[in-house]
Amino acid sequence: MTEEICRRILLDPSLIDVARGHLERFMDPDPHQAPYYAMWRDLLDLPPAELVEHLLEDSPRGDLVRETMPSFGGIQAGEAMEIIRKIL
């Protein structure tokens, strides 16, 4: 799923603004999310290619980035199921 999100970010960098909106609406108000909010605020300020590198990073930090990722929108339930079927 992450690979598909990355592909879409590179094709349509405006998805970063969608994620920024999600970040502001859902993560910023929650004090428990403060460290993730700060991390993602910085990540979303990067150029799209650099953001994608962080999303695909094979490391504990990469895992954290993926686990706390805000919604970039654009993937409908049917599409998500098709992507999951291809993986499995």
Structure token digits, residue 65 = 């980035």
- What the block records as the tokens of 32 is 């428990």
Give the pLDDT confidence of 70-86 residue by residue, as tens digits: 988 766 545 545 655 66
User: If pLDDT is split at 50, 70 and 90, which confidence band does 4 have?
Assistant: confident
In sequence order, the 6+-apart residues with CB closer than 8 A to the CB of 69 are 2, 5, 19, 40, 55
Domain regions of the chain by residue span:
2-87
Q: What is the pLDDT of residues 7-51, one digit of tens each?
A: 889 999 999 999 999 999 999 999 999 999 999 999 999 999 999
pLDDT of residue 87: 56
Please tell me the predicted confidence (pLDDT) of residue 47. 97
